[in-house]
């Protein structure tokens, strides 16, 4: 029963995340004006803003006023946030890791979607995770030393790719925001052993490469196009966290 409430609350936060993902990169207030259709400015009523249900049952994917199509991403972000919150609770239960992992996964979803839209990861995402990791290290048995080492070890491979990739490929192959995100996740998880670091890096790059090839196969991306890598680092971090901690 608790899992259901966690899922529902996560979906509600996911609805707010959609607002943040759209407005924050545009330097707009997340509070004013209230949620509205970007085409006709129709103010979204409360019953049109129920996560997932309003989109599927009431609106059927279109604005109730002008009938402009609403992106499927809105309910997907809501559902993803709800599922992520529920998985964190089911994994850690009544443990300090639960609120920490929930906050971190929320930041990761926000940062990933901004990266998809604008090809950058907001500094507040990486800095927030890093601060949480540093503070949490005093309470989770990892310790501040392992937290700092974790940031360095997890971030080093990405820093090398960022630094040398441009020389080898004659273009930027990874943004520095990706490096900062890897460092932040390393600070959170701390250094335990090289195997876990290897899993994190492998999962991130394998999923990233697979999705890149898929997008090229579907002709969504060309060979020289930018592919946001933040979502795959975030996914690698969450898989590592949920499996090994």
pLDDT computed for residue 219 by the predictor:
67
Q: What is the C-alpha to C-alpha distance for residues 205 and 214, in angstroms, rounded to an integer?
A: 14
Each residue's pLDDT tens digit, 158-196 = 999 998 887 777 777 889 999 999 999 999 999 999 999
The total number of residues shown for the chain amounts to 245
Q: Dump pLDDT digits (tens) for 86-102.
A: 999 999 999 999 999 99
Q: Which of 193, 185, 189, 194 is nearest to 232 (CA)?
A: 185
Task: Work out the average pLDDT over 18-45.
Answer: 91
Report the mean per-residue pLDDT for the chain. 92
- Confidence band of 140 (pLDDT split at 50, 70, 90): confident
Specify the pLDDT at position 212: 80
The kind and range of the H/E element at 167 are helix 143-169
User: Under DSSP, is residue 90 helix (H, G, I), strand (E, B) or coil?
Assistant: helix
DSSP string computed for 139-155: TSSSHHHHHHHHHHHHH
pLDDT above 90 for 105:
yes
**CA pair distance 31, 19, nearest whole angstrom:** 9
Structure tokens at 102: 């929930």
30: its two tokens:
């997340």
Total Cβ atoms within 10 A of residue 222: 8
Segment 221-230 mean pLDDT: 77
Q: Please report, for the chain, the start and end positions of each structural domain, with discontinuous segments joined by +.
A: 1-94, 100-245
**Residues in Cβ contact with 35 at an 8 Å cutoff, skipping those fewer than 6 apart:** 19, 43, 44, 49
Q: Helix, strand or coil for residue 62? A: strand
Structure tokens at 141: 């048995």
Q: What are phi and psi of 30, to 5 degrees?
A: -85, -5
């Amino acid at each position: 029963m608790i899992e259901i409430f966690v899922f529902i609350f996560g979906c509600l936060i996911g609805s707010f995340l959609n607002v943040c993902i759209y407005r924050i990169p545009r330097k707009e207030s997340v509070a004013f004006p209230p949620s509205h259709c970007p085409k006709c400015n129709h103010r979204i009523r409360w019953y049109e803003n129920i996560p997932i249900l309003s989109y599927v049952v009431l609106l059927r994917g279109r604005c109730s006023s002008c009938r402009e199509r609403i992106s499927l991403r809105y309910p997907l972000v809501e559902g993803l946030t709800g599922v992520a919150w529920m998985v964190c609770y089911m994994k850690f239960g009544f443990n300090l890791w639960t609120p920490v992992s929930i906050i971190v996964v929320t930041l990761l979803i926000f940062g990933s979607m901004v990266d998809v839209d604008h090809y950058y990861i907001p500094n507040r995402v990486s800095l927030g995770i890093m601060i949480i990791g540093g503070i949490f290290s005093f309470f989770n048995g990892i310790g501040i030393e392992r937290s700092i080492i974790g940031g360095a070890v997890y971030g080093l491979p990405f820093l090398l790719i960022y630094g040398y990739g441009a020389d080898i490929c004659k273009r930027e192959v990874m943004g520095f925001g990706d490096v900062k995100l890897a460092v932040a996740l390393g600070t959170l998880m701390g250094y335990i052993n090289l195997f876990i670091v290897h899993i994190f890096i492998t999962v991130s790059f394998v999923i990233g490469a697979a999705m890149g090839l898929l997008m090229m196969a579907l002709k969504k991306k060309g060979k020289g196009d930018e592919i946001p890598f933040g979502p795959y680092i975030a996914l690698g971090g969450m898989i590592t966290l949920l499996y090994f901690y």
